Every structure is written in C-alpha cells, then in structure tokens.
Structure 1
Amino acid sequence: MGEVRKLQKKLRQIENLEIKISLTPEERVKISRKAELRSRLAELQLQLSALQQTLGIVGDAKQEKMKRQVADASEALPSLPPPASKILKGEKKSKSQAAPAPAARHGEAEIGRQGSTELGKVSDHCQDLSGGCPESEPDQQLQQEEMEFQCLKESWEKAKFRLRLLEGHNDIVTCVVSVDNLVVSGSRDTTVKVWHVPTATEHKNLGGHTGAVTALSAPPPEYCKRLAFSLSLSDKERFILSGSADCNVKIWALSIGQCVRSIYTFNAVTALCFVPEDDGYIITGSDGGKVQAWSWHTFQHCQSVNAHQEAVTSIQAQGPLVFSGSADGGVCVWENQCSDRDPLTLLHHWSGPVTGSRGGRVTLSPRGDKVFLAYGHACIKILQWRTGTISRLTNHSSITGVTDCVHQTGSLLIGSCYDVASGESSLNLFALPQCRYLASLTWPEAPRILCFASWATGSGDHRWVTGGRDLVVWEQLPSSGRQKGDVTVRKDDRIDSSLLESEGETEEDEQSDDFEEEDDSDGCKEYQRDGSQHEVSGSWFRCVLQ
C-alpha cells in the first residue's frame, strides 16, 4: 500500500505540473514518466486485487459457518423488534432515502434523450414530506417518488449526446458561459472567444487582456438594455464580463466584438459574478482574498473587503445573496443591501476547518440553504450555510478521484470527476433535491473537465459546454441510432449505493489526508494546530495562474 500511495502522490503532482504554462527541463522529465507510473500503479493494484480475492476465498467458509450458527440460534430465540435506524449526525435521513430502491441494472448502456417534463415531475414530487397526512398517504407518495426516480434514471441510461470540439484556444480553458446560441470561453492564452454553437465555429476573438482570463459572467438582458441605450447600441445587445490576472474586468459587446468598458481593480481578478439587484453590481475576487463590489450603473468602486486569507476561487450569486469560496477552504455568505457604498453585508463566514477543505481550488454552487462545494477531492461537500453543518456526497469510488467543478441545471446536480491514476474523466449526474445518483457520462479519451455551463434548447433538450484541455459542446439527441464515440454510461455501483454522509473523518478522508501529507506532513500538522494556511494552500490554482 505504501508504494501505491507514493505513485498516486506522484501522479497528482504530475497532473498539476501539466497545467503550468512554462516547464523546467526537470518538470518535463517528470511528465514524461506519467505513462510509466500509471502502468506500475495498475500492476500493483492488480496484485492487491488478486491478494484480496485469495483472502476472500479462505474466509468464505468461516463466514458461511457463522451464518449457519446465527440462523440456528435465532430459531431458539423469541422474535425481537428490528433495530432503530441510525440517524446521521447533522442531517436527518430523508424518507425517500429510507425507501428501498429496486435493483439497478449493471453494465454499460447508451445515454440519450431525457425530456424536461420528466425532470419537472421528479422535482415536483421530491419535496420534503411533512406530517399531517394519514400514514397510508406518505407511503403512497414515497412509492410514487421512487417510481418516478427510477423512470428518470432509466431515461438517462438511454440518453444520447453528440459531442463537438471547439478548436481555437492554445491553452487551458478556465471559464465558460452561454448566451443564446453562443458559447463564450476564457483561457490562459489571454483571449475571450465567442462560438456559434449550431455551426461549431469561432464567431469572434476578443483580444485585449494581457494576462490569463480567469472568470466570465453574463448580465441578464434587462441590465444589458440599460448599458446598450447609454452606448447607442441595439436594445438586443448582449454583454459579457471577463476578469483576468492582469487586474482588469472588461465588458464586451458581443455583436460588435469590442470592449466598451474596462475596470482596473488593482488586484489580479480570480473570480467574478454579476448580481441582478437594484441597478446591478459586479462582484470580483482577487488572488489575495479580497472581495470587491462595483456599480453596474456608474462602474465606480463601491466596496473592498479582505474576506479570505488565500485567493478567491469562486463567486456565485443567488438573488440578493453572494457566495465566495477561497483556496484557504473558507466560504463567505454576503447579502446585497443595494446601496451606493458598502452594498455587501457579511452574513456568515465558514473557515476551512469547518468546511473540511484544507486548501485547494474551491468551486461552489448555491441552492437555497445549501452550497455544493467541489474542492479537488473525491467527494462533493454540502454546506448548510446557515448552521455550518457539512455533509458528503460520493463523487468517485477511490481516493485518486478529483472533483474540479460542480454545477446545477434544473433539477440536476452535475459534478466533474477525474481519476489521476487512470486519466479517465466523466460527469456524474444526481437528482435534486435528494442528491440521488443517476448516471455517469463519459466518452473515449475524455479530458479533465475544469469548468461547465448549460442551457436548454427550445424543445427542452440539454446543451452543455465543458472546458479544460478541450472545449466541448454536448448536444442532446434522439436515442435512436449509435455512432462511434457517442457518450455512454459508466455506472459506479459505489456512488449508486451511497447516501449523504454527515461530517466526520471517513476512511477515505483519512487515506486521502495521509496520502497528501507524505511529502508535506510538517506543513499540514502546523496548519491544524495554529490555523496557518500558507503551507498547505492548493497548488492547482496557483499553477493555473502561473
């Protein structure tokens, strides 16, 4: 096991090296050994698997003997009531999770059309069932929920997507957004590109930044009209905000492909979002942990707060609320007071030791009182931001899995998954609000997915775009027919059988922590004792901006 963990550690380091812009000769030599290390790791895992199977055969007879003894003894004892169900710490087990699920199908199946009607039906029936009903009614509702969930699951197993590669960037794609039939992508190559999805062609190349483009946001149409009127442009004009490591936020008019406004922030911009409240606000995060607010009406600076101790890696808005996540593992929740000065009021600040994110690139996606967190480990964390309660959602079957981004579209939760040991990449789908596993979407030679955007077509089908090494558009198609390279399901039985887990050190986390501490154990221990975060902050994010 010791050599396995060392190989896993080396592969993680190599994956981080590969996304650096410039490499030293020594780093290039390390990267050239990735295939060799993966081959050796696969050989060791095969040996361990064979050893476990041998031990299992020896133990089978004993297990059967014990089962017979228990069965014989139970016949002589009076019948006892069943044991009480275990309630998870910090989160009650929902009735829908307690209901037994029918046996799931094994093997791979084609993925395809899944109508918005089915999603809506499941979303409507998946609300929390409170008391006040006769005992028979909740049972019937739970059975109906379970049937609808199984129908939804089967529909995803039969779905089909066409994948189209958008070629044009010459470095990693760090951010994507969608506007109508257009996809806008930002890259470390300093450019913002606009793509026409129906034809999969580059529509415009927006050059103007001198540093890596790290974040994009699309203001709603009603806020675009106000700016378009002041600029004497069409009232149908759409604008895009781009943030960059060059300390600038630029506002682009998509139809003319020009920068109409530029805001100098005095800090490298690492995250941003648009808050559609009152006259509108632009919220930015910096590499030093600063959160800033800017007026959409005047483009003047409104507020600056040193909110985090490390780089702000994600900012998302939900109505008047703003959520910021940092490389120090902390999450801040803000309320927009719609004022000209200091519009953001801090409601909650949960630090890294609370969220369990001990450094790294945190991306977040809020939903009501919950925030879904992806922080570079095998699971997705769920933060109840009002109370600080943490739960885990399994997103990979081993500690070599990495979750880079998490996204919501309708009643779907989508988490990216990358295995550093095998190089395999996929998207895991969960039904909301219970976070029940549906399917895993993958295709041959799928690259690591670092960012995600989604929208629906006029017919209600899904269109997605994923970014990383490649920029890929996913378009949902009728399920008839099959072609080489189609998206397929790769079912993960461990994810399928898992439920939400309350916070607390699991075996997987302990293994992962030991694994990460092999080379830097002193720094990690110091972090846990005195709260210093500089020695364990995530290297992935820093590599992105180098």
Structure 2
Amino acid sequence: MGEVRKLQKKLRQIENLEIKISLTPEEEFKISRKEELRRRLAELQLQLCGPQRTLGIQADGEESEMKRHVEDAPEALPSQTPPASKILRGEDAKCKCEDGPALLATQRTTGGVVKTAQRQERTHTATVSHHDRRDMSEDCPDRGDDDDGGRRQGQEDAEFTSLKTSWQKAKFRLRLLEGHNDIITCVVAVDNLVVSGSRDTTVKVWHVPTATEHKNLGGHTGGVTCLSAPPPEYCKKLAWSLSLADTERFILSGSADCNVKIWALSIGQCVKSLYTFNAVTALCFVPEGDGYIITGSDGGKVQAWSWHTLDNCQSINAHQEAVTSIQSQGPLVFSSSAEGGVSVWENRCSDRDPLSLLHRWSGQVTGCGGGRLTLSPRGDKVLLAYGQAWIKILHWRTGTVSRLTNHSSVTGVTDCVHQTAGLLIGSCYDLANGESMLNLFSVPQCRYLASLTWQRAPRILCFAAWTTGSGDHRWVTGGRDLVVWEQLPSSGRRRGDITVRTDSRLESPLESEGDTENDEETDDEHLDDDEDGRRGGRETDVEDGGSGSWLRCVLQ
C-alpha cells in the first residue's frame, strides 16, 4: 500500500513538472522516469487486485440503442438542479483508421514546419462512453404541486434523455495543428481563427477551415501563459485610434517575460505592450464601461488596466501565491491562486481602483490547495479544476462546496473546465496509464452525458469552444498537441468503431464536501523517496479494488 501511494504521488509530481513554464536538469531527469514508474504502479495494482473478475464494467452492444432517433439538443435545460452522476471512465476503442490524428501526433515535425500530407483532414470518430442512471429528485414538491412538479420533471427528463442520446452518437473530425515545438498552454477562438500560446514563447494564429498556420506572432522572450480576445465593439475603438480597419480583431497575450502584448491579427504585429514588473500568469478582458484588462502575476498580484488609455488603474496583492486563472462574468471578476484561494471582485468602471472585493475564500474552504487551479463561473457558482479526480463547485456567495466526480480512479486529474452552449466540459487525464478524455455534462444540472476520447489522446491542458451557424460544435484542445474538434452534421455521420461501456460503481449523485473525506495531497516536487514514504501517511488508503480494478479493465 505504501509503495502504491508513493508512486501515485511521484507521478502527480512529474505531471505537474511537465507543465511548468521552465525546467531544471534535475526536473528533466525526474520526468524521464515517468514510464518506469507507471509500469511499476500497474504491476503493484494488479497484484493488490488479485485474479478476481472485474464487476460493473460491461459493453453496450445493443444495436437498437445505437439507432435511437436523435432529437435536437436544447442549449440549456430548465433551472432546477437535480443531482449529477459521477463520471464514467470509458475504454478506448480500437480505431480502424490507423492514420488518424493520433498517428499524426507521433509524427510532429521540428522547427514549426507543417508537412502538407500531415495537414490533410482525417475523419476520425471519437470514442463515446456513456453511463445510464436513474434520476434522483433533489427535493420533494409540496403536495399541492405534485402534478405540476411531476410534469416539469418528466419534461426535463425527456429533454435530458434526448440530449444524452445525441451525444452518445456524436462524431467528430479531429485535425492536428502542427507548428509549436513545446507545450501549448492557452487557446482562444476568434471567428474562423484559433489562436494558441506556447511555452516556446510564440503565439500562433491558425485558419480552422484549412487547418493551416495563418500567422506566427513572435515577440515574447518567455513562455506564453495566457490569451484573451476582446469583443468586436472594443476592438473597433482601438482600431480607430491606430488607423486600422473597423473589422480588425485583437488578441491579448501574457507571458513569463512580464509583458502583456496586444496583437492585430490582420497584420500579425504587436501594436501595444504593457510591462507588469512580474511574470504574467493569467489575464482576461472585462467588457464593461470603456473596457479593462485584468492581469494576475506569479507573486499573487491582480492588476487592472484601462483599455482606453492602457494605464494601470489598480494593483492589489490579492493572493499569497501565483494567480492561476482569471475569468469575468458581466461586471464580476473571478481570480484563483495556487494555494487554492478564490476571490470575487466587482468592476465599478472607475478610472482609479475599479475592482472592489466582494468575497474571498481560502484554500481551506475550497479544498483546492496544492494544484493548478482553473475556474469557470456560472451565476452564483464557480466550477474549479485543480489537478484531482473531481470538479469542485463553489457557491461563491455562501462558501459552500460540493464536488462532481470527473474520473473513476484516484489517479485521474482534471486540468481544465469549460462551459459552452449548455455543456460543461471537463478534461480528464489518468496519471497511471496516460489516457486522456473529455467528459461532458449538461448545465445547469451537471448531469453526466458522455466521455469522448481517441487512441493515444494527449493530456488536455487548455480548451476553447464555439458553435457553427448550423449549431454544431467546434472545439480546440491544447497540451502536447493542438487539436481541432469539428462535429460532423447529421448527414455526415457514419457508423464508426465505437465501444460504449458503463460502470455501475459510478452510480452516485453530486457529493457535498461535508460528506466526503479530505482529498488533498501534498505535492512537493522535491521530495525524495524517503520523504515520500514518511509523508505518505497523510493520504487516505484509496489504493484498493476501486482504482486497481479499473486499471485491470484497461489493461485487459
């Protein structure tokens, strides 16, 4: 048991090292041992599980299930919030298309040169796993409202069933965008363009319809950590002042070189630059008043900059450690930090000190300390991804916390969470075997829909999404690889090599934080073997049949 805990912790430390903005030779050596540690962990877990047969995993081979009619999915379901199901961990399908994006991912070229043959579109079917569960009502309605409540619940269930059926049949065309020579840390979508930032110090602009590199924006001297796209009406104001066309679009990029650069996409040039005196780790644009750029630094500082004058309006020592994510929702600004704290600010649209603190919740409240914390706000809730097997849900007005399981194994981690068009999308990565997927939930109820993956899918560290005029989804994911996901229309869908599986062990609702054990771990990157063993007692004994039996299913 102790060695299993130690190996799990070491793998988590290595994965955290891999996404750092720079590495020392000692850290690079630790990363080189990842495959060795994975093999040893798999051996130990198989020994602990014994030879018994895994229960609860079954393939869904019903032909009628795959041929159900797909209704048009609603953008968002009604506002009641029934419990959410836990995530099903799907097993990769054996793909018949051997030259799909996974193969392209292993044939990356150097020096940012994209081979024409590798840029060609490859139609590939994402593996879809789903988990059917009976819905559980959250509260019993009053006796006089039984009939109305029952009808509403029935309508919601019918809509959810239609949406779930649609995602069970979803097909995507995946296209690899090659050009970066290091980890992609951030992505954003603008019209038919995708903009990506990388640890290789470059910002690249990609033309989605042709999957080709459109612009290479070089100018940062440190790794690019964050991107943001101001709305068109705010771009128009800056374009007018620079004598550019009214249709000009701008991109903001933050970097470890302490600069925020403003790029004009049509000409591919930096038109403005802000020096922040600290490495920029997060930023967002707030479209309120004349507009504001909000930045976060590696020292925990949050700063506000006027979009109109580009002057610094405010500097706040907001967090004890590095700011990891900043997002806006109307006049509200949400910031998170490496120690697990979350702060909520109100933008008062003033020339001086526009940000006013509304709430601050520490890592002790959120339970998210010691990880790479990213956030996605929606109404009174903030969804938090922090390098564990769960998505935390913080009710930011009250400080109450619940969690949604995003992986069936304790060795799973959640790197990013995103909301778009009635969907909650969480990335999921298994430290033990290197498998990656996207888990889909309906919002606002957070009810599980499906899991999407493909063979040898890389770890997903960043995500952007938009919809086409026909309502189909287009996504872009970044990490080791930059991949565009294009949902195929109904006329383009074809029966693919899909394995659909269910896991009865995941039939649990959304958990409140008070009903669960402490799930935090100490992720000290510099612990040696002896220190790992001494500190392993802090973790709960979770390496039993739960995670091990799942691993055995994957290996079989």
Which TM-score tier does this pair reach, normalised by the shorter chain? Answer: 0.7 to 0.9
Query: Are 2:296 and 1:288 aligned?
Result: no
Q: Which string of whole-angstrom CA distances, capped at 9 and with x for unpartnered residues, describes residues 293-316 of structure 1?
A: 000001001000000000000000
Once residues 388 and 177 of structure 1 are traced to their aligned partners in structure 2, the CA distance between those partners, rounded to angstroms, is 30
Does residue 233 of structure 1 match 2:244?
A: yes
Question: Structure 1 CA distance, aligned partners of 2:149 and 2:457?
Answer: 43
Counterpart of 1:167, as a letter, is E
Measure how far apart 1:4 and its partner are: 1.8
Provide Cα deviations, 1:302-333, integer angstroms capped at 9, x if missing partner.
00000000000000000000000000100000
Is the 1:449–1:466 Cα contact (8 Å) retained in structure 2?
yes
CA contact (8 A) 2:5 2:536 kept: no
| Counterpart residue number, 1:513 | 521
Q: Which amino acid aligns with 2:472?
A: D
Task: Look up the equivalent residue of 2:427 and give its one-letter code.
Answer: S
Partner Cα distance (1:236, 1:132) in 2: 58
SS at match of 1:366: strand
* Structure 1 residues 183 and 247: alpha-carbon distance in aligned structure 2, compared to 1, 3 A threshold: same
What SS is found at the alignment partner of 2:74? helix
- Choose the corresponding residue for 2:381, options 349, 355, 370: 370
Task: Report the AA paired with residue 194 of structure 2.
Answer: V
Name the amino acid aligned to 1:36.
E
Pairing partner for 1:170 from 181, 186, 190: 181
What CA distance in whole angstroms lies between the structure 1 residues aligned with 2:410 and 2:174? 29
Number of aligned residues: 474
Q: Secondary structure at the match of 2:521?
A: helix
Aligned counterparts of 2:335 and 2:425: Cα–Cα separation in 1 = 20
Return closer, same or farther for 1:393/1:114 CA change in 2, 3 Å cut-off: farther
- The residue that corresponds to 2:425 in the other structure is 414
The aligned residue for residue 158 of structure 2 is 147
Is 1:49 aligned with 2:4?
no
Q: For 1:38-117, what aligned pairs fall within 5 Å after superposition?
A: 38-50=38-50, 106=60, 117=72
Cα drift, residue 7 of structure 1: 2.0
Displacement, 1:211? 0.7
**By how many angstroms is 1:183 displaced?**
0.2
2:442 to 404, 411, 431: 431
Pairwise mapping of residues 140-539 of structure 1 onto structure 2 (< 5 A)?
140-478=151-489, 482=494, 491=501, 493=503, 497-504=507-514, 506-507=516-517, 509-510=518-519, 513=521, 519=531
Shift of 1:116: 9.7
Cα 1:343–1:28 change in 2 (3 A) is closer
Give the letter aligned to residue 10 of structure 2. Answer: K
SS at match of 1:7: helix
After superposition, the Cα gap between the structure-2 partners of 1:208 and 1:326, relative to the gap in structure 1 and judged at 3 Å, is same
Residue 17 of structure 1: how far off its partner (Å): 3.7
CA RMSD of aligned residues (A): 3.2
Deviation readout 1:325-364 (Å, 9 max, x if unpaired):
0001000000000100000000000000000012221100
In the superposition, the TM-score normalised over structure 2's length comes to 0.78
CA separation in 1, counterparts of 2:61 and 2:322? Answer: 42
Change (3 A) 1:273 1:505: same
Q: Is contact 2:341–2:361 with CA below 8 Å preserved after alignment?
A: yes
Q: Give 5+ residue unaligned stretches, structure 2.
A: 83-138, 539-556
* Cα distance change on mapping 1:111 and 1:156 into 2, 3 Å: farther
SS at match of 1:140: helix
SS at 1:423 equivalent: coil
Given candidates 77, 99, 120, the residue that maps to 1:123 is 77
Structure 1 residue identity aligned to 2:509: L
Give the structure 1 partner of residue 111 of structure 2. none
Find out whether 1:2 has 2:10 as its counterpart. Answer: no
The question of 1:137 aligning with 2:148 is answered yes
| Cα distance, 1:132 vs structure 2 | 9.6
**One-letter amino acid of the counterpart of residue 521, structure 2:** D
CA contact (8 A) 2:6 2:533 kept: no
Further displaced range: 130-139 or 314-323: 130-139
SS in 2 for 1:208: coil
Check the 8 A contact 1:217/1:240 in 2, yes or no. yes
Counterpart Cα distance in 2 of 1:291 and 1:219: 19
Instruction: Supply the AA of the counterpart residue of 2:152.
Output: Q
Cα displacement (A) at 1:395:
0.3
CA distance in structure 1 between the aligned counterparts of 2:218 and 2:67, rounded to whole angstroms: 37
| Counterpart amino acid of residue 392 in structure 1 | R
Residue 412 of structure 1 deviates from its aligned partner by 0.5
Q: How far 1:51 sits from its partner (Å)?
A: 5.7
Is the 8 Å Cα contact of residues 112 and 161 (structure 1) preserved in structure 2?
Answer: no
Once the two structures are TM-superposed, the CA of residue 240 in structure 1 deviates from its matched residue by: 0.5
Greater displacement, 385-394 / 224-233 = 224-233
1: CA distance, partners of 2:469 / 2:238? 27
* CA 53–442 in structure 1, closer or farther in 2 if over 3 Å, else same: closer
Question: Match for 1:429: what amino acid?
Answer: L
Identity of aligned residues (%): 74
Partner of 1:504: helix, strand, or coil? helix
The answer as to whether partners of 1:183 and 1:195 remain within 8 angstroms in 2 is: yes
Task: Mark the CA change 1:284 to 1:133 in structure 2 (over 3 Å): closer, same or farther.
Answer: farther
User: Alignment partner of 2:514: what SS?
Assistant: coil
With normalisation by structure 1, the TM-score equals: 0.80
What SS does structure 1 have at the residue aligned with 2:4? helix
Residue identity opposite 2:192 in structure 1: N
Is contact 1:216-1:273 (8 Å) kept? Answer: yes
Deviations 1:25-61 (A, max 9, x none): 655554444333322322222222226669x9xxxxx
Structure 2 contact 284–328 (Cα < 8 Å) conserved: yes
Higher normalized helix content (fraction of residues): 1
| Deviation (angstroms), 1:411 | 1.0
